[in-house]
Amino acid sequence: MLKNDRWIVERAQQGMIEPFEPKLVRSITPDSGVPLSVISYGLSSYGYDIRLSPVEFKVFRHVPGTVVNPKKFNPGNLESVPLQSDEDGDYFILPAHSYGLGVALERLVIPPNITCLFIGKSTYARCGLIWNLTPGESGWIGWLTLEVSNSSSADCRVYANEGVVQALFLEGEPCETTYAARSGKYQDQPQRVTLAKV
């Protein structure tokens, strides 16, 4: 069963999402006092819009003579992208036809009878950005590494501190072994980009 806003609020009060925004935020008022439109984040009817952290964003780059190997991932195939700011907010640039890795601003503690699906927001999809559909398994804890592909022929901004993916919480019968119990390889991820592991 897909869980609703009332359930999400109850679980957030028990530490499932931190920090937690109890309503859908579409604009903020920064120190300048001038309202700023944002890509929405926070609680929705049947989900929660997760924000991109300003801590780190990396883009794949071509290194002659190398092939990306998920079993022996070379961090040299990634380069850090600087956080930039202007009147529209804080952002990273994702070059055309490239792939980037960021990290969620919110820390998640997934209950043992819940699996999450993280799906990209339509605002970014309409700009050619495709956020990888990622599961958050029962018992998983940490900051989600976010993967995004720029399928367009134009560079695109990816806004930090604003919504990028929506978490949908699906309840199932209790499983025999949770992600935490089997010591999943991505358990307790820090608020940094976590590279591929085997």
pTM, two decimals, is 0.92
Check if 87 is active-site: no
Q: Which of 10, 106, 147, 173 is catalytic?
A: 147
Note whether residue 45 is domain-resident.
no
Note whether residue 24 is domain-resident.
no
Note whether residue 151 is domain-resident.
yes
Note whether residue 183 is domain-resident.
no
Question: What CATH number has the domain bearing residue 93?
Answer: 2.70.40.10
pLDDT of 82 over the 90 cut? yes
User: What band does 119 get if pLDDT is binned at 50, 70 and 90?
Assistant: very high
Structural domain including 150 reads: 50-171
Tens of pLDDT, residues 29-57? 988 888 999 999 999 999 999 999 999 99
d(CA 187, CA 9): 24
pLDDT of residue 33: 85
Note whether residue 107 is domain-resident.
yes
pLDDT of 142 over the 90 cut? yes
Note whether residue 14 is domain-resident.
no
User: What band does 64 get if pLDDT is binned at 50, 70 and 90?
Assistant: confident
d(CA 142, CA 174): 21
pLDDT of residue 63: 83
Region 67-75: what's the mean pLDDT? 89
Domains identified in the chain, total number: 1
Note whether residue 153 is domain-resident.
yes
Note whether residue 8 is domain-resident.
no
